[in-house]
């Protein structure tokens, strides 16, 4: 019974957030192969869409907040890699692949151990 509930919730979430539907299969293959590479393990993936022209003040404010957030992640030692894919209507979908270096994980373990 619980498995049926969980599987239906996952299905509903995929309907609400069809993130990868617009991306061609060759791009999906590239991202999934990068996730499974042993030397560059991906810990998190941020996904957002943005317009290619920044005429809207709301879009500019969102972009500034994202850049500030991403700069803070880099300041704390995380590695960010970007993959951008063009969509329709002068928009693009951006995947931010976030990797945590092993040394940073060790440092965080030491902090939490105290």
Q: 66 and 48 in contact (C-beta within 8 Å)? A: yes
Q: Tell me the whole-structure pTM to 2 decimals.
A: 0.63
Of 40 and 56, the structure prediction assigns the larger pLDDT to 56
Residue pLDDT, tens place only, 93-110: 999 999 999 888 888 888
Q: For 47-84, what is each residue's pLDDT tens digit?
A: 999 888 878 888 889 999 999 999 999 999 999 999 99
Q: Count how many Cα atoms sit within 13 Å of the Cα of residue 19 in the half-sphere of its side chain.
A: 12
Would the pLDDT of 18 be above 60? no
Q: What's the residue count for the chain? A: 114
Measure the CA angle with vertex 106, ends 101 and 111; round to 5°: 125
């Amino acid at each position: 019974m619980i498995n049926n509930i969980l599987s239906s919730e996952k299905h509903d979430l995929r309907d609400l957030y069809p993130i990868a539907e617009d991306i061609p299969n060759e791009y999906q293959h590239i991202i999934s192969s990068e996730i499974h590479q042993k030397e560059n393990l991906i810990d998190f993936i941020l996904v957002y869409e943005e317009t290619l022209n920044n005429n809207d003040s709301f879009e500019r404010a969102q972009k500034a907040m994202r850049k500030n957030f991403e700069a803070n992640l880099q300041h704390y030692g995380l590695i960010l890699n970007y993959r951008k894919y063009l969509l329709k209507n002068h928009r693009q979908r951006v995947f931010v692949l976030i990797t945590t270096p092993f040394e940073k994980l060790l440092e965080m373990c030491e902090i939490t151990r105290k």
